[in-house]
Structure 1
Amino acid sequence: MNKEDNLKRLAYLRNIVLNMPEKPGTYQFYDTEHTIIYVGKAKNLKRRVSSYFHKEVDRFKTKVLVSKIHDISYSVVNTEEDALLIENQLIKQYKPKYNVLLKDGKTYPSICVTNEYFPRIFKTRNINKRYGTFYGPYSHISSMYAVLDIIKKVYKPRTCRFPITKEGIEQRKYKPCLEYHLHNCGAPCIDKQSYEDYQEAIRQAREILKGNTREVQNLLKQQMQKYAEELRFEEAEMCKQRYMALDNFAAKSEIVSHTITDVDVFTIIDDDTRKNAFINYIHVKNGAINQSFTYEYKRKLDETDEELLNEAIPEIRERFNSTAKEIIVPFELDFKIKDASFFIPQRGDKHHLLELSEMNAKQYKFDRLKQAEKLNPEQKQTRLMRELQEKLKLTKLPYQIECFDNSNISGTDAVAGCIVYKGMKPSRKDYRKYNIKTVTGPDDYASMQEVVRRRYSRMQEEGTPLPDLIITDGGKGQMEVVREVIEDELHLSIPIAGLAKDDRHRTNELLFGFPQQTIALDVKGELFKVLTQIQDEVHRFAITFHRNKRSKHQLHSELDDIKGIGMKTREALMKQLRTVKRIKESDIQTLTGIIGASKATIIYNYFHTK
């Protein structure tokens, strides 16, 4: 590969990385033949994958791997543990060339509760449903052992492998083992513990394994407090560690479940124009995800979501040679597939899989949107304007937005600023500064009314296009005084919104309407970020103007009061003599050498004839 082709390859890969989400998930690297050469997992996909392409990377293996990458794909999940489990399954399935760990055929352990008369509880890597119920698998081995230890301490299940039966107990065939004498077992084999008590203990242990740990956590908390009161600090610390381990314990991942054997999962998400749809496909085999892809379908004849899925499901199943007997979908479909049935889950593991599939489809849609907006920035601006229009139910796109803010110190040097955003971008040539003329003292409401009145009455007189939206840097009070000027005095019809801040001076809500209502916004969304930028920008603009005005007053010197002495003369003197004191003490010859005889005489006489 020549240098130019290599640069194109790296640019293509970096563009993919740039649009990756900052979420947990797995990623796959492909070579020129689109064969998976590496599978990885990450808590933050974007950060992890971008690390491969840093200039500082100096590991030989990483450099070799990066040189082989020609494409990247990824899937998002809810937790890092889920990503770890999917990574495990994908490595075993594809055996990528550059993966070393987890290729040995081992898998993460599960916990088995046997079907015996007196069930046993133990960890295993061999799953056979004939022998019992399996919980897991568990990617955090230490947490799994912590829970097994808690179950052993609290419920004392038997550990021996004797095939204990009711008849054997009645015939006294068994003898208690060492665990009984160590108080680790209730010895149900010799009827020291009743069948009912033992089964109740196992039932509670199952609840822990399902993730219902609150009861056990409360018990550990009580024991910890009891030990602390008795000054048995080592035992109290042990209880604390078990409590924390149990608190961090994830009893079962939605990604891998032994109750799900072989299913296909399909979800569909529309783009904003409904011209395209994104269909995600997840295939679960033997309880684990081994396929996850999203496809973009173009609507040719304005097909419904149902019609698109009817077309896509057989096509995708054929492409992946799927023979799954159960197909999970988000809604009812009016067609049938031979030897397979559709299922719409409402809860449980299968519903989690449906949610995961939908999350991946949404992420794919978002990534495609970001790529398109990178090529055409105006598309992003239009999308944000449309989103704001829908939120506020405006009659037209808010192309021109104007925002106001006041700035003063106890009413002195009172000023205001107006900034203008056009197409969701600052239009700095349209920014305006205002000195407050009619208000005395610190009255923000009256100052705001003066500025709004001056600006829009002038725009009316000049026939200048009015804004599509006014935003006040304040809450309900600011909105109301602006409304009084706009509607009651000037008889204009301009929508008014307000951006309120919390106690930490951070934007926390958008207000709109009269009476004002809080408009729900995603604080992590792009629209919220733009509105926050508008508020920060108008605050910066107003306060900078105020500081400049205040500093001019503070820099006033005695030289400013001398008639006949202009700015250039003052600057020349200050440049040479540095201070007013030295100017006062200078003789007339020194002053003449700097500014000439006539002006030197004026200054000398001013300071020496007082």
Structure 2
Amino acid sequence: MTQSLSPEDAAAAVLAAAEEVAHAESAAAAGRAALLAEVAQLPALPGVYRYFDAHGAVLYVGKAKNLKRRVSSYFQKDHGGTRIGVMVNRIARMETTVVRTEAEALLLENNLIKALNPRFNILFRDDKSYPYLQLVSHRFPRMAYYRGAVDKKHHYFGPYPSAWAVKESIQLLQKVFRLRTCEDTVFANRSRPCLLYQIRRCTAPCVGLISDADYTSDVHNAERFLRGEQQELLDQLQRRMMEHAEAFEYEKAAELRNQIQALSRVLQQQSVEENSASSAGKDVDVLAVKVQGGRACVNLAMVRGGRHLGDRAHFPTHVEEGAVLGAAEDEGDDVAAPVPPEVRVLEAFIAQHYLDSAVPPSLVVSHPVDAALMEALSVHAGFKVSAQHQPREQRRVWLQMAQTGAELALARLLAQEGSQKARTLALAEALGLEVQDLDTLRIECFDISHTAGEATQASCVVFENHQMQSAQYRRFNITGITPGDDYAAMRQVLTRRYGKLAEGVAAGTARMPDVVLVDGGRGQVSMAREVFEELGLDLSLIAGVEKGEGRKVGLEELVFADGRPKVYLGADSAALMLVAQIRDEAHRFAITGMRAKRASVRTGGSRLEDIPGVGPKKRARLLQRFGGVRGVAQAAVDELASVEGISRDLAEEIYRALH
């Protein structure tokens, strides 16, 4: 029974609420006044600025040639209800960093964008490094596929858009110049030529069937080919062939003739060639952008040495928010000036991508970009970098190909995202979930894996924002149970996962997932129910994926812990497809972890990893040299020290640890 307030108490409550609102408004006004005062004191120097909201979250990172003019322009007019107006109204504080040049501002701005992930910046994330073709320094250099940090003692060509492009180039060089591809350990222990020599893909320097000078000449010619000097190389080979023929050295002339023929065939097989004499031999990146449906795609096509190596599509986040902000940073710019979203996306990609990747001297772009951006990029690269819009001849063909690729890639992405959202909606409806925003629907799925009770591991995979979130996956080593007891393993993993989380849920500082899937039927669901009851958690979150009749795929049923009847989704159900995807991912993640743990236990690899100074690379070299941990244990100190990267002191430490 509620008790009504007296008129005096009601009036007092209204007065208190009004005072609280007035106090909040006064504090906000004081904060905005302090912010404007700080803006007024900014220097007219190049720098980077960062906007934060009242909770400390980063809203936007920008650069300016003139900090005072640029930052002031955000606060000198009313932006209304636009996205930029929403951002400006949320700014509670800012930070600025003064730099010496605009190039330094460009570098700092995009490093901060990648590190802070601001809400109103367009952000490109590319966790995959680009591969290179590597010529490893050696008396007889070898060709290799390489991905990682560049070491100056070797020669690198690229980057290439894909591993396939690198491997295709290696195959071409094998056909024409017959350079070796074997590891140095194999090369040093050959007593007779391998199969590659028999099929004319290698000149067998390992057994001395080619001289140092001739092999060095082949390496030099391969480098010229990769730099795009194909015609010059052909002319030189023709001259050398004629010189040998005139000197009656017909065998050498025949070898060069065969090389010329192979090189000619390779050049004729190229589907895309650089025909323009003005740009022959130059490296070019072709950039095409397409924006549609709130998403964007930048398609990057790489041309190296006149050869089109393929393309790769990049998809940024925060497109709708970031694309509304002005792209230029010159003095007097109006931040609300309409800038096409394609230009904004393209400039964000150029600025962020080429800070970490090699930039060629020439870019071909589908939309014009700011000259100041290219100038800053040139300073950062150490040489002139130009951007060509509306190209002609062959470059026009390349750009058209890149634009078509961007359109197709974006269409696939939009179709895929539409399908993913449809599956999420179907599952939410099948489970009767009341989720306000499907983008926030979170599902955690658990699976147990072992081999006859050995190396038991549990996995937890996460589905959120309509896709699997691999960065949030977790594995749990299960110990202290009877080998093969899957129920005890499930009890342990759920207790460890939700024990502390339950305390946060009770305190209102943490959030449970919307669905907890367990791979199993009533037995596993009952175990999950016991854990949730002990922790005081909602039983309606638990669902088990039970195999259907005959354990056939498509006949799975969902079993619930709160007493609801089983649900059969149907073999062609979008909801079942999503459940199967999540369940299969949990199984894959669990079984790969279990196999790695089992292999470590059986080989004793952990015995090596536990030795200070022995990391994964040194451990791999030791196991490769001696055939396993037993062989390493039987090796003498001198033998251990002969392995690359193993010093005498470390060899003695390994010997003591294994004896």
TM range, smaller chain: 0.3 to 0.5
| Bigger relative CO (Cα 8 Å, ≥ 6 apart) | 2
TM-score (norm: length of structure 1)? 0.34
TM-score (norm: length of structure 2)? 0.32
Which of the two has higher C-alpha Rg? 1
